[in-house]
Amino acid sequence: MRTDTPTVIGLDDYRPSDHLADTIHLDILLHPTATRIVAETAFRPNPAGRPGAPLVLDGDELRLCGIELDGQPLPAEAFEASPQGLTVLAPPQRPFRLRVVTEVDPTANTKLMGLYRSGGIYCTQCEADGFRRITYALDRPDVLSVYTTRIEADESEAPTLLGNGNPGEAGAIPGTGRHFAIWHDPFPKPGYLFAVVGGRLGKVSKPFTTMSGRPVEIAVHVEPGKEPRAEYALDALERSMRWDEEVFAREYDLDVFNVVAVSDFNMGAMENKGLNIFNDKYVLASPETATDSDYANIEAVIAHEYFHNWTGNRITCRDWFQLCLKEGLTVFRDQEFSSDQRSRAVHRIGEVRTLRARQFTEDAGPLAHPVRPNQFREINNFYTATVYEKGAEIVRMLKTLLGEADFAAGMTRFFETCDGTAATVEDFLDAFAAVSGRDLSDFARWYVQSGTPVVTVRTEYDPAQARYRIDLTQETPPTPGQAEKGPLVLPVALGLVSPTGAAIAADCADLRPDGVHVMAGSRASLIFENVRERPVPSLFRGFSAPVKLRLDLGDDDLLALLEHDSDPFNRWQAAQMVAMRLLVGQATSESGTPVEASLLRLALALGRVLVVESERDPAFAALLLSLPSETEIAQEIGSDVDPDAVHRAWLAARGTIGTVLAADLAAIRAATEPDGAYSPDAASAGRRALRNVALDLLASADPAFGEREADRQLAAAGNMTDRLAALAVLSRIPGDTRERALARFAEDFAGEPLVLDKWFGIQAAIPEPGTLDRIHGLTSHPAFSFTNPNRVRALVGSLALANPTQFHRADGAGYAFLADIVLMLNGSNPQVAARLLTAFSTWRTVEPGRRANAESQLKRIAREQNLSPDVSDIVARSLSEA
């Protein structure tokens, strides 16, 4: 294990590699505990590098078994080797071939980086620094090589052998029980996109013909027997490939495209060229085992990894600081895909909820960093909501700023000029500047400045002049390492709405015809003429910039937006704002309930809107009925948060809304009784979402009724969505019914690890003092394992991220539990440990007692010897003062 203090790597330290590696021939002899890797690489000095420099190859926990240069064994004095690296001291100043033999133990590899075994299947994960755990290499994204991989294994153990690129020669090795397959990838790529798979796998496949008429075989490989559950992923893959042709004119470029599902996986999925490896959670689905959100996630993740073939693989990153170049852009692309496949408004609201819950929280705490960080100690810790989700928001703003046509032309130019290269954020922006003729240097600040801008709005109506004025100011609070902030370029999509619902035609010189004002400085004033009645402004329509909005509007104005705005996002947002004010007021006031009247008004307005929306767009109606989460409320309060008070406010508000709307909600339930077979399509999923939100609110108002109704739904449910929704409602109502339901569920799905994850997750999220003991007990459940990241995330992650009252227990027991788990996983799987540890990132915002408890647990972790770089980086940043 690495025990050294990780060194800080800076963006400004970038220099090109001294050597290039044009081709790599790998011979991988798979064996459960002693896999031998023979790597023959054609190196040459890089003309852009330092002449005469040694060849310094990266390694990580490697064992060197042999080394030859141009066919001759390399004498011991000519190189230095350790598990962490291999240096050829004076390599030839001309092209040469280096043959390196290493040996690794895939079974012992619990870090799940490099080559490892998952349920008997050999697989790899090389992003970011995993290739160096297979062989010594120039393991950096700007060194691109053409790979040829020969894979050999026992035929009985691994009948399927898959690699990157196109399949070549394959066959048995007579008399040995072993066989081999050769794969050749003609597209030069960095080591992080390398992959091999070997195992006993079933598959579903179909032919795909690309836009230029080339035939491709697309396939999804899963554990034998689970093939029917891979059909939806295969269908999503086919739709993704077609969509990328239609929308971005991107065509697939190999003869085969393989997806493999494995059960032990640190992340969601990995876009290795032509051989995507997936966490099986994002592949396997059947109506009996997967929820509507599972189906939607599978569609999104399949699309995301496929889209990387162009944004990530054909055009890769020069260095890891440019991670957002591939991730932010690809998240934007998968969001657009999902929006085209589903309801755009509903999808947008979902994106923003995720952004606020995860990225805004990150931006407000000690782990805040720019979308393109300028330094890191452990790159694994930068696969964050900021790089991914905020990175996608920047691309979306760029599109709004430039308009459809220039954005499309810029993307085309980026594809054309950067294909085959390792690019930077500057290369990306240059493409758009070139086609639009615009200077994007101010806009580029979005990539380098961390923190969430706060936009404050003042409005003024002058009836005598029929003039309306909107003053906007923006300010970004300081974040670690960045005390001073500059103004950001904000595309403000806006319109005026009459409180009575009538249309308002107004003139504003500073508004583009498409209703967008581009705010470039810290202040802006918009004057509207010929405004005949006092309007309500609808600002940042569609969430046109990732900002926090401070509006000077009263509840009546916001409720008018809820009822009359033409922008569905702002209708939802208006209801959220009213609810948020009430919830924050309730959670921070010491006296009783001064907000009851406002809550009643909100509930009645929602009831009026529901009449139309529950028919027109049930998924949208379901979102209107969903209050801000406890995480969002805590974030809004910002300091000295008492999670118990937040929870009480949240419960009370749901109870009131459920009571006021009881008749409407019952009518919704009656009108949405399931009929016919389950289908995962968006319309059917929307009806189920609305039906289940109605159940949830009715149960909040009347737990006895909720218990009966949820129990009835659980018994009758023909699909996992309705079953799980009912179980979630029951889980919050203590008693025998709940315990019986939980026990029954575990019996029914005993052989289904992904379904049991839901069961673990629901129990870990129960907001009751007994939950921590329950979780302790569940860690010894036969289906639980600390070596499987999905299990750990389901049980421990749900406590840390989905159960604020129990994680933030006043006695500190929740923090101590998480710290124990982090320390336990620090050695075996540092990535998962570090990810769990980020749950502490809000520790400075809780009230002093809890804050002291959290700090003492963080310090306890920091004192530990042998901390992995992953964990030590997060704990140090979490504790740092600035």
Residues that bind Zn ion (CB under 5 A): 327
Terminal C-alpha separation, the chain = 30
CB of 302 to Zn ion, least distance (A): 12
Placement of tokens 């960095």 in the chain = 190
812 CB neighbour count, 10 Å cutoff: 17
Phi and psi (nearest 5°) for 839? -60, -20
Active site (annotated) includes residue 305: yes
Q: Are strands 375-376 and 523-528 parallel, antiparallel or unpaired?
A: unpaired
Residue 221 in 3-state DSSP? strand
Beta carbon nearer to Zn ion, 121 or 303: 303
CB of 311 to Zn ion, least distance (A): 9
Beta carbon nearer to Zn ion, 312 or 568: 312
Establish whether the linkage from the previous residue to 839 is cis, with ω within 30° of 0. Answer: no
Q: How far apart are CA 693 and CA 725, in angstroms?
A: 9
CB of 383 to Zn ion, least distance (A): 9
CA 689 to chain centre: 22
Beta carbon nearer to Zn ion, 277 or 539: 277
Residues 6+ apart with CB under 8 A from 382: 320, 323, 369, 373, 376
**Residue 446 in contact with residue 437, Cβ under 8 Å?**
no
Beta carbon nearer to Zn ion, 111 or 308: 308
Catalytic residue among 127, 223, 305, 362: 305
Q: Is 663 exposed, middle or buried (0-12, 13-18, 19+ CB in 10 A)?
A: exposed
CB of 327 to Zn ion, least distance (A): 5
Beta carbon nearer to Zn ion, 272 or 826: 272
Q: How far apart are CA 673 and CA 675, in angstroms?
A: 6
Beta carbon nearer to Zn ion, 58 or 327: 327
Placement of tokens 């964050």 in the chain = 384
CB of 842 to Zn ion, least distance (A): 26
Q: How far apart are CA 235 and CA 206, in angstroms?
A: 9
Structure-token pair, residue 455: 């936009």
Beta carbon nearer to Zn ion, 299 or 327: 327
Beta carbon nearer to Zn ion, 311 or 631: 311
Identify the helix (H) or strand (E) that includes residue 231.
helix 231-248
Phi and psi (nearest 5°) for 786? -75, -10
Beta carbon nearer to Zn ion, 270 or 587: 270
Structure-token pair, residue 307: 């889209």
CB of 304 to Zn ion, least distance (A): 6
- Mapping DSSP onto H, E and C, the string for 498-509 reads CCCCCECCCECC
The DSSP symbol for 410 reads H
- Give the helix ranges, DSSP H, for 638-681: 643-660, 662-671
**Per this entry, what is the length of the chain?**
882
CB of 329 to Zn ion, least distance (A): 9
Beta carbon nearer to Zn ion, 26 or 283: 283
CB of 300 to Zn ion, least distance (A): 11
688 CB neighbour count, 10 Å cutoff: 22
Burial 840-853 (b: 16+ CB within 10 A, else e): bbbbebbbeebbeb
CB of 270 to Zn ion, least distance (A): 8
Residues 6+ apart with CB under 8 A from 782: none
CA 784 to chain centre: 24
Q: How far apart are CA 93 and CA 91, in angstroms?
A: 6
In single-letter form, the type of residue at position 439 comes to D
Q: How far apart are CA 206 and CA 188, in angstroms?
A: 27
CA 534 to chain centre: 42
Q: How far apart are CA 875 and CA 873, in angstroms?
A: 6
144 CB neighbour count, 10 Å cutoff: 18
Q: Is 246 exposed, middle or buried (0-12, 13-18, 19+ CB in 10 A)?
A: exposed
Beta carbon nearer to Zn ion, 27 or 327: 327
The answer for 52, left when phi > 0, alpha when psi is -120 to 50, beta otherwise, is left
CB of 269 to Zn ion, least distance (A): 8
CB of 216 to Zn ion, least distance (A): 21
CA 304 to chain centre: 10
CB of 325 to Zn ion, least distance (A): 11
Spatial CA neighbour of 515 closest among 500, 525, 505: 505
CB of 121 to Zn ion, least distance (A): 22
Beta carbon nearer to Zn ion, 338 or 586: 338
Beta carbon nearer to Zn ion, 139 or 327: 327
**Residue 469 in contact with residue 529, Cβ under 8 Å?**
no
Q: How far apart are CA 240 and CA 310, in angstroms?
A: 13
Q: How far apart are CA 505 and CA 503, in angstroms?
A: 7
| Catalytic residue list | 305
